Amino acid sequence: MIFDDIFKAIGQLMDARFRRVLVLGIGLTVALLIAIYVFVLWLVALVAPETVTLPWIGEVSWVNDLISGASVLLLMVLSVFLMVPVASAFTSLFLDQVADAVEDRYYPTLPPVQQTNWLDGLSDSLRFMAVIVVANLLALIVYAVMAMTIVLAPFTPLVFWSLNGYLLGREYFQLVAIRRMDPTAARSLFRRNSGKIWFAGALMAIPLSVPLVNLLVPIVGAATFTHLFHRLAR
């Protein structure tokens, strides 16, 4: 049944509202990453010394350029891991548009959704972004340790999929559910079906490792969990 939800979501990718959310999510993510690059370079230029005097070598003037280059390289590596989680968080700002498109096509007899406060939605999205970014930054340490161990290295993708599967599953399900029920009922439904929700999230997390395809994950995930919620709510 979960695979049916995924296939329905993929089949609706050409929907105009899906495309709009995809462009907005990617655009905001790229803008955020560029802003971070600019801020880090400004901070390095402010803090790093223009020249350094080294024993037996004398005055060295390329230290600032070296630190700046290393900072940009580090941010580029981090962006590979953070691009999709951040895009997912931004997409959650526009989740209603994806869910509305799904419900208009597959569940046209549903009553109007509960109106939520815009600030509450923004707060939920920012919390989602903070949790998923911090969790993935901390996980980088685990990935690095596992990668240096021959026995554990092959299991690194499993840790990545499991972690992001849980995060995506929990957050997307909650964000979809509170459109149709109060938060207490949504949490109760999540607890009763946590295994199915984690499995669906893990299936969403697997394509995160595939360049370009991973950019579609937030949209497909939001649509999939809209279908999943309606099945479980019944």
DSSP letters spanning 66-99 = HHHHHHHHHHHHHHHHHHHHHHHHHHHTTHHHHH
With the C-alpha atoms ordered 112, 101, 96, 162, is the resulting torsion angle positive or negative? Answer: positive
Q: What is the pLDDT confidence band of residue 190, given thresholds at 50, 70 and 90? A: very high
Task: Give the start-to-end residue ranges of the domains of the chain.
Answer: 2-13+82-233
Question: Cα(159)–Cα(162) distance, rounded to whole angstroms?
Answer: 5
Average pLDDT rounded to a whole number, residues 141-158:
79
- The structure's pTM equals 0.73
Q: What is the pLDDT confidence band of residue 12, given thresholds at 50, 70 and 90? A: very high
Average pLDDT rounded to a whole number, residues 55-79:
54
Residues 6+ apart with CB under 8 A from 27: none
CA 199 to chain centre: 17
Q: Would you state the pLDDT for residue 104?
A: 92
Evaluate if residue 58 carries a pLDDT over 50: no
**Across the chain, what does the average pLDDT equal?**
77
In the chain, % of residues over pLDDT 70: 71
